[in-house]
Amino acid sequence: MSQPPLLELEQIKVVYNQVILAVSDISLRVDAGQIVALLGANGAGKSTTLKTISGLVSAERGQLAAGAIRYQGEAITHAPAAQLAARGLVQVLEGRHCFAHLTVEENLITGALARRASRAELAADLARIYDYFPRLKTRRHSQAGYTSGGEQQMTAIGRALMARPRLVLLDEPSMGLAPRIVEEIFDIVRQLNQQEGVSFLLAEQNANLALRYADAAYIIENGRVGLAGPAAELRGRPDIQAYYLGQA
């Protein structure tokens, strides 16, 4: 029997405050071991899609009006975020969201709280994350609020990894960061994918960048899938730019 997709969304519809149709019809799949990109302009519905998967939308006055979500073949349509994190599905929110007054290392440790990890396990996981993010090792005793934007993004990703996820939902990792740092972060995402088998569903406005790293991509336009396919096929297609018209 063939494996079910790691994640599957079927005709998701999300309405905020009973009037704002943020997502009208999104279906997508992520297979185990894949990096899948969710592309689209500002306001297209990428963040809403990710938050709906991770169980955060209902906590935010949003409402999942229709559709189904399955993770590892099981329905998770209304599962709360904490339960999903315990099952290996975690989100890194847009805007990095570190605890500014905690050190980098304390931020990382918060990612393991739900696991009730032993001290030895924590130490091993921290060491593993510092291997991937040497910058975080250097900065581990600094207050996160005083680290650079790139370091905060790395801290946010590192914290998600402390939950030992199978699937990470990554929202706009490139936002506000210098191209060199963005490349560094995407290279680490690729290493995590190839060496640890972590799958990623990542929302990005920077389509050219994301298509270089992703296996497959969905282009979201006004809350629905406009175009989808293997990243190799979508790369360089001139019509992709049309989805971003109006973007600064």
Is 47 among the residues that bind ligand ATP (CB under 6 A)?
yes
Stretches 5-13, 36-44, 82-90, 185-193: which one binds ligand ATP (CB under 6 A)?
A: 36-44
Other Cβ atoms closer than 10 A to 234? 22
Helix H or strand E encompassing 207: helix 207-213
Site for ligand ATP in 161-180 (CB under 6 A): 172
How would you classify residue 167: left for phi > 0, otherwise alpha for psi between -120 and 50, otherwise beta? Answer: beta
CA distance 42 to 62: 18
Interaction pattern, residues 120-149, with ligand ATP; x per rule: CB under 6 A: ------------------------------
CA distance 191 to 101: 30
Q: Which CB sits closer to ligand ATP, 62 or 173?
A: 62
Smallest separation (angstroms) from ligand ATP to the CB of 228: 16
Q: Which CB sits closer to ligand ATP, 111 or 223?
A: 223
Place of tokens 């315990």: 86
Please tell me the count of residues contacting ligand ATP according to CB under 6 A: 19
Site for ligand ATP in 88-117 (CB under 6 A): 94
Smallest separation (angstroms) from ligand ATP to the CB of 21: 8
Stretches 55-63, 67-75, 146-154, 232-240: which one binds ligand ATP (CB under 6 A)?
A: 55-63
CB 9 within 8 A of CB 71: no
How wide is the angle at C-alpha 40 spanned by C-alphas 38 and 46, nearest 5°? Answer: 55
Helix H or strand E encompassing 230: strand 224-230
CA nearest neighbour of 148 among 112, 187, 119, 176? 176
Q: Which CB sits closer to ligand ATP, 61 or 101?
A: 61
Helix (H, G, I), strand (E, B), or coil: what is residue 185? helix
User: For ligand ATP, which residue of 7, 37, 39, 40 counts as binding (CB under 6 A)?
Assistant: 40
Where do contacts with ligand ATP occur on this chain (CB under 6 A)? 16-17, 20, 22, 40, 42-48, 60-62, 94, 172, 203, 205
